[in-house]
C-alpha cells in the first residue's frame, strides 16, 4: 500500500519554464490538496479538490494550476516558474470529515 506518492523528489527549473508535479494516492480518498512549505511560514494551502472534477483555491494559488480527472491523481502545474516558487511541495489526501491528512514525501523545487 503506497499511500501518497509524489514525483519527482527533486527538481531544478529555470525561470519561465513549466512543469507538473505529480501526486497519486491509492487510499480512495475524495479530498486531495497541495501545500508549499517555506521556512517560518509553515504549510500554506495552494489548491485543493473535494472530488474528481472539483477543485478550488487555497491560501496561495497564484502561479499554480490544478485539475482532478480521477480520484487517484491530482497534478500541480507551474505554467511559468518564478524564483518565488522555490519551495518544498507536499501533496496530501484526507478522508471525508477531515479526520486525518496523509502526506507524500514532498518535492523540493528550486527555480533559478
Residue 103 CB, shortest distance to other proteins, in Å, is: 4
Closest CA to 70 of 55, 51, 56: 51
Rule CB under 8 A: which residues touch other proteins?
A: 31, 33, 35, 40-45, 48, 50, 56, 58-59, 90, 92, 94, 96-101, 103-106
Q: Please, what sign has the CA dihedral across residues 76, 20, 92, 41?
A: negative
Closest CA to 29 of 73, 77, 80: 73
**Alpha helices, DSSP H only, in 1-112?**
none
Residue 9 CB, shortest distance to other proteins, in Å, is: 10
> Are residues 93 and 102 in contact, defined by beta-carbon separation less than 8 angstroms?
yes
Residue 95 CB, shortest distance to other proteins, in Å, is: 9
Residue 78 CB, shortest distance to other proteins, in Å, is: 21
Amino acid at each position: 500500500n503506497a499511500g501518497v506518492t509524489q514525483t519527482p523528489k527533486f527538481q531544478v527549473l529555470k525561470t519561465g519554464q513549466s512543469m507538473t508535479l505529480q501526486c497519486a494516492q491509492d487510499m480512495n480518498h475524495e479530498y486531495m490538496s497541495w501545500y508549499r512549505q517555506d521556512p517560518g511560514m509553515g504549510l500554506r494551502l495552494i489548491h485543493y479538490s473535494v472530488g474528481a472534477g472539483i477543485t478550488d483555491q487555497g491560501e496561495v494559488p497564484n502561479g499554480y494550476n490544478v485539475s482532478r480527472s480521477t480520484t487517484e491523481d491530482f497534478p500541480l502545474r507551474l505554467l511559468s516558474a518564478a524564483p518565488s516558487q522555490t519551495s518544498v511541495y507536499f501533496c496530501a489526501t484526507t478522508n471525508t470529515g477531515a479526520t486525518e491528512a496523509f502526506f507524500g514525501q514532498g518535492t523540493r523545487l528550486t527555480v533559478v
